[in-house]
Amino acid sequence: MNRIVLVIFAVAFLSGCSPKMRSAQSGARPSPSEVIHLKVQADPQLNRYDKASHALLLCLYQLKDPDGFRQLAQDKDGVPKLLECGRFDASVVNARLIVVQPGQNLSQTCDKGEDARYVGLATGYYGLGKMKVTELFALPTRVADEALPGLLHVDLGAQEIRNARVE
């Protein structure tokens, strides 16, 4: 288990933004409906294991279809696969690995991938038993001529996802 966590940390530090994310940083401003805003609030006792708090891996998936994510989230061997933060099937538009520290309040923005209709979250808590370690949401869509931004709030508790919602 420790070896997997170390490999994932190494990948997180060595990987950069996807090409679409880089274009947003280079000055091109996407419309609000093309952006996902992520706000994460982490418990000071985040990922508590062996009397200490630890950093947590959070993988943010943008998906065309939720079925593959849902199947992996329900399978006991599926969550480690989701934590690889890769393209587990053709429905994955984008995957982004984020490392969250205990007590951290994090705000990030990423471009909404083309055809992305859902957001999936997978977290790497030490106790992957029956705790709530994944979430799946439909992204807001355009209503009339108003573009709705995807504002994703995630409250990470000590041992599981305490609350998550899209506005």
Kindly give, in sequence order, each residue whose CB lies less than 8 Å from that of residue 25, ignoring residues fewer than 6 positions away.
Answer: 17
Range in 10-14, 45-49, 146-150 the model is least confident about: 10-14
DSSP 45-107: TTT-BTTB---EEEEEEEES-SHHHHHHHHSTTHHHHHTT-S--STTEEEEEEEEE-TT-EEE
Q: What integer pLDDT is reported at residue 128 of this predicted model? A: 64
* Residues 28-39, mean pLDDT to the nearest whole number: 70
Structure tokens belonging to residue 158: 């000590």
Write down the mean pLDDT value for the chain: 81
pTM of the predicted model as reported, rounded to 2 decimal places: 0.78
* Residues 48-59, mean pLDDT to the nearest whole number: 94
If one counts every other C-beta atom within 10 angstroms of the C-beta of residue 19, the result is 8
Which residue type occupies 126? Y
Q: What integer pLDDT is reported at residue 11 of this predicted model? A: 39
Nearest Cα residue to 79 out of 99, 59, 53, 56? 59
Q: Calculate what percentage of the chain has a pLDDT beyond 70.
A: 73
Structure tokens belonging to residue 89: 């099937």
If one counts every other C-beta atom within 10 angstroms of the C-beta of residue 62, the result is 24
Q: What integer pLDDT is reported at residue 153 of this predicted model? A: 95
* Residues 49-57, mean pLDDT to the nearest whole number: 94
Q: What integer pLDDT is reported at residue 166 of this predicted model? A: 84
Residue 145: pLDDT above 50? no
Task: Please report the domains of the chain, with CATH numbers, ordered by start residue.
Answer: 2-15+32-166 (2.60.40.4150)
CA distance 18 to 24: 10
